[in-house]
Amino acid sequence: GRVWFPNARILIDQRDDTKLYLALNKGGAFKFFRHNKLVLSDTQFSLQVRVGSNVKNAVGHLVGDYQYDIQDDQITIEGPLGWAKQKQMTPLNLMILRVVMLTVGRFFPNLIRKLLQKMLITGKNDAPFRFQRTFHWQDGHWTLNDQLIATDGWSKVLTAGIGSDQTSIYVVMSRTFQAGQLQPWKDLTSEINALSSNQPLEVERQL
Percent with pLDDT over 90 in the chain: 62
Domain residue ranges of the chain, discontinuous segments joined by +? 2-83+128-206, 86-120
Look at phi and psi of residue 36 and say left if phi exceeds 0, alpha if psi is from -120 to 50, else beta: left
Instruction: Supply φ then ψ for residue 166, to 5 degrees.
Output: -75, 140
Confidence of residue 166 (pLDDT cuts 50, 70, 90): confident
| pTM score, whole prediction | 0.81
Cβ-Cβ contacts under 8 Å for 119 (sequence gap 6 or more): 85, 87
Decide if 161 contacts 188 (C-beta within 8 A): yes
Per-residue pLDDT tens over the stretch 49-89: 999 898 999 999 998 999 999 999 999 999 999 998 766 66
Q: How distant, in Å, are the alpha carbons of 82, 139, 170 from that of 174?
A: 19, 35, 8
**Whole-number pLDDT of residue 85:** 72
Read off the amino acid at residue 100: V
Q: Which of 176, 182, 146 is nearest to 162 (CA)?
A: 146
pLDDT digits (tens, 9 = 90+) for 132-159: 999 999 999 999 999 999 999 999 999 9
Asked if residue 44 has pLDDT above 80, the reply is yes
- pLDDT attached to residue 154: 96
Q: Which residue has the higher pLDDT, 89 or 201?
A: 201
pLDDT at res. 88: 63
For position 170, what pLDDT does the model report? 61
